[in-house]
């Protein structure tokens, strides 16, 4: 029986579970805010399921990608 609480974005393939738990292809589990800050904000493709500001919530500085220098 499929889990109805799992959404898969047709644009990037990321799975969103239970509304805010995001499973990235690599790295730790994140949130919709982190997904938006790292992917959706830049991709801006039709069909993205992570564009609703209310669902995304507050984006914090540590949600953005910061490469190790």
Residue-wise DSSP of 21-33: EEE-SSSS-B-HH
pLDDT at site 1: 47
Q: Is residue 35 assigned to a domain?
A: yes
Q: Report the domain count for the chain.
A: 1
Closest CA to 11 of 46, 41, 62: 46
Q: Is residue 8 assigned to a domain?
A: yes
pLDDT at site 69: 65
Q: Taking the model in full, what pTM does it have? A: 0.83
Host domain of residue 10: 1-44
Q: Is residue 63 assigned to a domain?
A: no
pLDDT at site 3: 59
Q: Is residue 30 assigned to a domain?
A: yes
The parts of the chain modelled with pLDDT lower than 70 are 1-4, 69
Q: What are the beta bridge partners of residue 55?
A: none
Please state, in angstroms and rounded to a whole number, the distance separating the CA atoms of residues 69 and 53.
Answer: 31
Closest CA to 17 of 27, 30, 28, 26: 30
């Amino acid at each position: 029986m499929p889990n109805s609480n799992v959404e898969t974005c047709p644009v990037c393939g990321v799975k969103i579970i239970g509304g805010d738990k995001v499973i990235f292809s690599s790295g730790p589990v994140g949130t919709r805010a982190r997904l938006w800050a790292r992917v959706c904000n830049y991709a801006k493709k039709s069909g993205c399921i992570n564009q609703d500001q209310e669902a995304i919530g507050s984006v914090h500085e540590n949600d953005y990608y910061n490469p190790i220098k």
